[in-house]
Structure 1
Amino acid sequence: MESSYDVIVVGGGTSGLMAAIAAAESNSKVLLIEKNKRFGKKLLMTGGGRCNVTNNRMVDDLIHHIPGNGKFLYSTFAQFNNQDIMNFFESQGVSLKEEDHGRMFPVSNKSKTIVDTLVNRVKELGVTIATNTVVKKLLHETEITGVETEFETFYAPCVVLTTGGRTYPSTGSTGDGYKLAKKVGHTIAPLYPTESPLISEESFICEKTLQGISLRDICLSVLNKEGKTVTSHKMDLLFTHFGVSGPAALRCSSFVNQLLETQEHVVVALDCFPDLSEEELTKQIQAILTDTKKVLKNALQTFLPERLLHFYLEKLDIADLPANQLTDDQLAAIVDLWKNFPIQIVKTFPLEKSFVTGGGIHLKEINPKTMESKMMPGLFFGGELIDINGYTGGFNITAAFCTGHSAGKHAAEVASYFHY
């Protein structure tokens, strides 16, 4: 294998594959190094194995769904965005389809389709590949000169680090890139789990009272110490043996973790009827209870799953109360519980079992237009390694593809100057 290249890309995941493609398409001689035997190991897991490849929204809306420093991506998205991702795959013969909430998937419903397409394009462009290879050190003087692996040394004026975060270490995301960046002077913002299930020690969770209950289109809100709403998400929710999961819980997790840095627990509030005001819900309940002789747990069974309904009514000690004996205060208590049920959260799943890493290489040390390091000329970054995180639904993968493309393209441009 040759030892000299224009651009070396370290990490063959979502961002790294796109970086290698972008650099090679810009006529650079590229080396792609991957520690695993195969490329895109984590990418194969995304979207439940179907690969939610991007999200079909306007750029401003994309950034809104990347709460972890999404505004940093305006420059990146001005050069290469979700529409360009879709165009890339369509140009490679991969048909995509749109599902709920703008999520884009390959028609094949297989992540392998996406990974194979990226790898085939890398090979088609003549990129040199080194798998089962770990980068031990970045070579540099006043600027990048190459990398040292466990086997040999490779030289290049530009190196793109796309080694991923620290989630799912079995895929190779073990934080290598943070160590490499730190050794050349970069600051790493504290890492924390995002898009992670929420863990609770409430008695009804420990006793598995609600385990397995799934709710559609509820609203889950994260409250601060003063009881004010920090964020709210109207999505699906699942009660589990450890707490709550599902899209609504996952989207709340980064905010929960940030609050947990200064407090022992965080309260999330569950609204089972977010489309109804308390007054409207009160009227609907009253309409059902008019002229019925049933007890409440039978009279109100159309509103909620049976176990959850009984749980709520038993908390108020009125499950077996005849409907015609319900007082105004008791009715108000039902409505309040259905729309403002508090659940105390003590932690989330750890980084290793979460979907996305929050924190990472400090953005003030990266040029947003080129993804080049401000600390070490010739060093570029892409993907989950940097301090950006979004919600599930194709937003993180979009950020990874686009930052990777920007890093690869600009690395190739810088490398071209060394030919003169």
Structure 2
Amino acid sequence: MSKNVIVIGGGSSGLMAACTAAESGAHVTLLDKNPRLGRKLLLTGGGRCNVTNNREQAEIIAHIPGNGRFLHSAFHQFNQYDIMRYFTSRGIALKEEDHGRMFPTTDKARTILEAFIEELKRQNVTVKTKAVVKKINYQEGIITGVTLDSGEELPADRIVLATGGKTYSKTGSTGDGYRFGKKVGHTITELYPTEAPITSDDAFIQDRTLKGLSLRDVALSVKNKKGKTVVTHQMDMIFTHFGVSGPAALRCSMFVHQTKKRDNTDFVSMTLDIFPDLSSGQVEQKLYQFIKEAPDKNVKNGWKDLMPERYLLFGLQQYGINPEQTLKSLQPKDIQNFVKFTKDFHFSANGTLPIDKAFVTGGGISTKEVNPKTMESKLQPGLYFCGELLDYNGYTGGYNITGAFVTGHVAGSHAALD
């Protein structure tokens, strides 16, 4: 007999779970508290929906630094290439951009949402919007359905929780799934913002000295209290009025949080290397070459092609070097100090912007309490989890949505068939 499956949450993982469960033969009802499905999906990839990444599986999991290993079993059932086939087989052409990111050729997230909506219709899924789930109903430890805020009761044999994390709360991601999981005894690991801009109390940040300055292809690192590098990301970044942002900073953000917690400190040290592909010796040679070529130029003009002028002047100020003095008047110690600035500028980070300003939620339903092969709860038979609700998180670049589609597909198929 066909299973009666309710999927709670109409985002990326919930849409995939509902379509897959129905395709696998279940009678499916999809519930979403919003007036329309896919509100958060429409925001992904800058509104273009970066549906997955074309890298190898091992690389994708490496780009999901928060418990990515949990997804190995799920990837063996449905992976990034299956995601691509899922959409192309439904008439959606995809294109690859830098770093393996895959987008619909329309450059519109709505194209992906409409494909899901068509699939829901084709599979006869019952869709209820503005449907707020008040509680999940059980009888002698067995799931019997849900009760909505309106008082309406809906029967179910299986329930898939796809309610998302706590980022973008305006889209309905308000943490409802944590409450439902906790009710049956699940551990909710600490929630924290990831892929979030980093904050700093350093004077040059508070004075907005470098606000709005972008640096290309730099290496940004997080250090622990022993001075050892926790992580380094070589990408673009930007200084802001509260700290640093841009791809390099976003990728470092979860490690700022984790290092603060592990070291039990109020802030962590970060370092910036603007010439990551050159050694200190090579940078020093470069500086001396400029001096040799134009000894009578002042420092500000003689080194202007090395980096943005604001960063150059900031670096000179750090070591009391007069930007108007001639290159030939610089002392060896001045050169050494400036090399250190370019390769190893230290500043402190006291955290990140709050979770509702982050791209991704870290923490969630403990993966130790979820069967990685089925996404079913180990504590409550018939209850499945998928997407950002689970305690795994990846970098931006198609990795989080890949996790959402993969876990949604696995949860939906097993809810229908097991």
Structure 1 stretches of 4+ with a deviation exceeding 6 A read none
What amino acid maps onto 2:146 in structure 1? Answer: V
Aligned to 1:145: 144
Aligned to 2:287: 285
1:101 aligned to 92, 99, 103, which one?
99
Q: Please give the alpha-carbon distance, in whole angstroms, between the structure 1 residues aligned to 2:64 and 2:34.
A: 28
Aligned to 1:242: 242
The answer as to whether partners of 1:18 and 1:404 remain within 8 angstroms in 2 is yes
Q: Please give the alpha-carbon distance, in whole angstroms, between the structure 1 residues aligned to 2:70 and 2:371.
A: 10
Aligned to 2:308: 305
Q: Please give the alpha-carbon distance, in whole angstroms, between the structure 2 residues aligned to 1:325 and 1:54.
A: 54
What amino acid maps onto 2:149 in structure 1? Answer: E
Structure-to-structure mapping, 1:14-413, within 5 angstroms: 14-140=12-138, 141-151=140-150, 152-261=152-261, 262-292=264-294, 293-318=296-321, 319-413=323-417
Q: Please give the alpha-carbon distance, in whole angstroms, between the structure 1 residues aligned to 2:269 and 2:49.
A: 33
Percent of pairs identical after alignment?
55
Which piece of structure 1 moves more, 17-26 or 277-286? 277-286
Q: Please give the alpha-carbon distance, in whole angstroms, between the structure 2 residues aligned to 1:119 and 1:13.
A: 11
The answer as to whether partners of 1:165 and 1:356 remain within 8 angstroms in 2 is yes
The answer as to whether partners of 2:3 and 2:417 remain within 8 angstroms in 1 is no
- C-alpha deviation, 1:143, in angstroms: 2.4
Q: Please give the alpha-carbon distance, in whole angstroms, between the structure 2 residues aligned to 1:97 and 1:291.
A: 47
TM-score of the two chains, using structure 1 as the length reference: 0.96
The answer as to whether partners of 1:5 and 1:155 remain within 8 angstroms in 2 is no
The answer as to whether partners of 2:3 and 2:416 remain within 8 angstroms in 1 is no
Q: Please give the alpha-carbon distance, in whole angstroms, between the structure 2 residues aligned to 1:7 and 1:18.
A: 13
The answer as to whether partners of 1:5 and 1:154 remain within 8 angstroms in 2 is no
Question: In the TM superposition, what whole-angstrom CA distance separates every residue of 1:171-220 from its partner, at most 9, and x where no partner exists?
Answer: 00000000011001111001000000001111111111111111111010
The answer as to whether partners of 1:80 and 1:402 remain within 8 angstroms in 2 is yes
What amino acid maps onto 1:201 in structure 2? Answer: D
- C-alpha deviation, 1:291, in angstroms: 4.1
Secondary structure of the equivalent of 2:350?
strand
Secondary structure of the equivalent of 1:268?
strand
What amino acid maps onto 1:142 in structure 2? Answer: G
Which piece of structure 1 moves more, 258-267 or 98-107? 258-267
Question: In the TM superposition, what whole-angstrom CA distance separates every residue of 1:71-129 from its partner, at most 9, and x where no partner exists?
Answer: 00000000001111111110111111111111111111111111111111111110001
Gaps (5+ residues) in structure 2? none
The answer as to whether partners of 1:291 and 1:324 remain within 8 angstroms in 2 is no
Q: How many pairs are equivalent?
A: 411
The answer as to whether partners of 2:18 and 2:120 remain within 8 angstroms in 1 is yes
Secondary structure of the equivalent of 1:387?
coil
- C-alpha deviation, 1:132, in angstroms: 0.2
Which piece of structure 1 moves more, 141-150 or 389-398? 141-150
Question: In the TM superposition, what whole-angstrom CA distance separates every residue of 1:6-60 from its partner, at most 9, and x where no partner exists?
Answer: 1110000000000001101101110000000111111111111111111111000
Gaps (5+ residues) in structure 1? 415-420
Report the aligned-residue RMSD: 1.1
The answer as to whether partners of 1:137 and 1:180 remain within 8 angstroms in 2 is yes
Secondary structure of the equivalent of 1:290?
helix
- C-alpha deviation, 1:5, in angstroms: 6.1
- C-alpha deviation, 1:321, in angstroms: 2.5
Secondary structure of the equivalent of 2:216?
strand
What amino acid maps onto 1:279 in structure 2? Answer: G
Which piece of structure 1 moves more, 251-260 or 394-403? 251-260
Q: Please give the alpha-carbon distance, in whole angstroms, between the structure 2 residues aligned to 1:68 and 1:291.
A: 50
What amino acid maps onto 1:147 in structure 2? Answer: V
